[in-house]
């Protein structure tokens, strides 16, 4: 396995063997690929299930898959076969990073756990992404974003402002854990670069989301005995919502004392600046319902356009309410070149989000959309020394699959 795939970004030259599927793991490796790593995505003969989620122009590659797996090379190995597992271990031997999103018993049965991979590659950074830490009683349970939202407390937090518990309208657990995996992998790479050697990283979704939510919601529960429940009151008040204007809605956060004084001036309400309920940040937090109700009453007096202009001039945080579709025409995103247009050989013109983090010397980038199923099988396996005759034999025995144009018809 060589790093011939991409030549850009701070991770240029880093080799990644990606055994993950669906969303959490692929989002992590999308980040690594954007940063220049050569990511080889291993799929089963049936393909990653995200290939078939949502609209697609080409059979077997949805828009979500094309974006989530951009910049990667894709191969097909049947890990149920001894030959497929042997090839996978050969690829792992040459990789800097190996990651998977299987439960521990499953990866052990395949003979591709950390013990097996580190035996042939002691310097490997090996990341295990799954639902629950292996030392807890939930270890080995299946997990998806919905169940992690539930067990982490997020679903019940939504019940603080809704009639009943709800999932948030994005796969938040998957994405937060993907980001956590990415930073952990890069920290391990830095440790290895300084001579520390390889290591295994455990990325458990439940623990990560519990830690993520307790950043602000720990509140009085940080003390023993507790000074209050683990809830950040500002975020769970039913009044915390976009404010209605004369002709729509705006998002406004009047947070610190300076912003509050400026807001009372804009509103023509100097009496509110002296109101003991709102005179300090602590007082506003203690009277959050009354505070939000007062702001809502004032915002309703003018149009959205008027408020956005006034608040922006006063340096009070505000924003219009974009829909997902609005992102494609947002002027700021246009200014920063947020979207990239690709001329794709399979789907024609694609428009995908560009890596949002900017590097002055080693810019992140991608040149291609997610691969077709098995598109790079032959290319990658030739790099570890397999001949065309061997590839033919392996395919005949079902251990590998090579993509052909006619299979997408």
Q: Are 179 and 35 in contact (CB under 8 A)?
A: no
Query: Distances in Å between the alpha carbon of 158 and those of 151, 152, 155, 205, 215?
Result: 13, 12, 5, 19, 16
DSSP letter at 355? P
Q: Are 350 and 369 in contact (CB under 8 A)?
A: yes
> Coil, strand, or helix at residue 408?
helix
The helices-and-strands tally (H runs, E runs) of the chain is 18, 12
> Coil, strand, or helix at residue 278?
coil
**Which residues 6+ apart lie within 8 Å of 209 measured at CB?**
148, 149, 152, 154, 172, 173, 176, 177
CATH number listed for the domain at residues 243-320 = 3.30.1540.10
pLDDT tens for the chain, residues 1 to 409: 444 444 689 999 999 999 999 999 999 999 999 999 999 999 999 999 999 999 999 999 999 999 999 999 999 999 999 999 999 999 999 999 999 999 999 999 999 999 999 999 999 999 999 999 999 999 999 999 999 999 999 999 999 988 999 999 999 999 999 999 999 999 999 999 999 999 999 999 999 999 999 999 999 999 999 999 999 988 888 888 999 999 999 999 998 999 999 999 999 998 998 899 999 989 998 898 899 999 999 999 999 999 999 999 999 999 999 999 999 999 999 999 999 999 999 999 999 999 999 999 999 999 999 999 999 999 999 999 999 999 999 999 999 999 986 544 3
Structure tokens belonging to residue 200: 């295994």
Q: Rounded to 5 degrees, what angle do the CA atoms 339, 99, 90 make?
A: 115
pLDDT at res. 376: 98
pLDDT at res. 238: 83
Give the homologous superfamily in CATH for domain 15-212+337-408: Crotonobetainyl-coa:carnitine coa-transferase; domain 1 (3.40.50.10540)
Cβ-based neighbour number of residue 123 at 10 Å:
12
Q: What are phi and psi of 282, to 5 degrees?
A: -65, -40
Query: Distances in Å between the alpha carbon of 156 and those of 145, 160, 162, 213, 285?
Result: 15, 7, 10, 12, 22
pLDDT at res. 2: 45
- Distance (Å, rounded) from C-alpha 19 to C-alpha 325? 32
- Distance (Å, rounded) from C-alpha 5 to C-alpha 323? 35
Q: Could you write out the DSSP letters of every residue in 161-182?
A: TSSS----SS-HHHHHHHHHHH
DSSP letter at 372? P
pLDDT at res. 197: 97
pLDDT at res. 233: 85
Domain boundaries, the chain: 15-212+337-408, 243-320
């Amino acid at each position: 396995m060589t790093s011939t795939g991409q030549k850009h970004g701070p991770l240029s030259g880093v080799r990644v063997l990606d055994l993950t599927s669906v969303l959490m793991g692929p989002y992590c490796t999308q980040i690594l690929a954007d940063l220049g790593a050569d990511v080889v995505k291993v799929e089963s003969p049936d393909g990653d299930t995200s290939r078939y989620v949502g609209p697609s122009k080409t059979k077997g590659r949805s828009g979500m898959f094309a974006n989530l797996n951009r910049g990667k090379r894709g191969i097909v190995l049947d890990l149920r076969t001894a030959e497929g597992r042997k090839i996978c271990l050969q690829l792992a031997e040459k990789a800097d990073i190996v990651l998977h999103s299987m439960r521990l018993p499953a990866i052990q049965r395949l003979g591709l756990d950390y013990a097996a991979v580190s035996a042939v590659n002691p310097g490997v950074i090996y990341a295990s992404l799954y639902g629950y830490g292996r030392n807890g009683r939930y270890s080995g349970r299946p997990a998806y974003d919905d169940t992690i939202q539930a067990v982490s407390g997020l679903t019940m937090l939504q019940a603080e402002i809704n009639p009943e518990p709800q999932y948030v309208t994005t796969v938040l657990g998957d994405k937060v854990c993907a980001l956590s995996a990415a930073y952990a992998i890069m920290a391990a790479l830095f440790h290895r670069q300084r001579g520390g050697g390889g290591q295994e990283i455990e990325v458990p979704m439940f623990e990560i989301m519990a830690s993520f939510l307790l950043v602000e919601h720990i509140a009085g529960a940080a003390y023993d005995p507790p000074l209050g429940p683990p809830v950040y009151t500002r975020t769970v008040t039913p009044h915390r919502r976009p404010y209605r204007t004369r002709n729509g809605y705006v998002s406004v956060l009047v947070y610190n004392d300076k912003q509050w004084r400026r807001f009372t001036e804009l509103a023509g309400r100097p009496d509110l600046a002296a109101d003991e309920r709102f005179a300090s940040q602590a007082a506003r937090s203690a009277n959050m319902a009354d505070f939000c109700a007062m702001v809502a009453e004032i915002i309703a007096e003018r149009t959205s356009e008027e408020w956005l202009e006034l608040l922006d001039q006063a340096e009070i945080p505000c924003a219009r309410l974009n829909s997902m579709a609005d992102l494609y025409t947002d002027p700021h995103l246009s200014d920063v070149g947020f979207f990239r247009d690709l001329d794709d050989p399979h789907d024609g013109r694609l428009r995908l989000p560009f890596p949002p983090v900017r590097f002055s010397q080693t810019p992140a980038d991608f040149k291609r959309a997610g691969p077709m199923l098995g598109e790079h099988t032959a290319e990658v396996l030739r790099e570890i020394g397999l001949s065309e005759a061997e590839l033919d034999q392996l395919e005949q025995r079902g251990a590998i699959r090579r993509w052909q144009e006619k299979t997408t018809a």
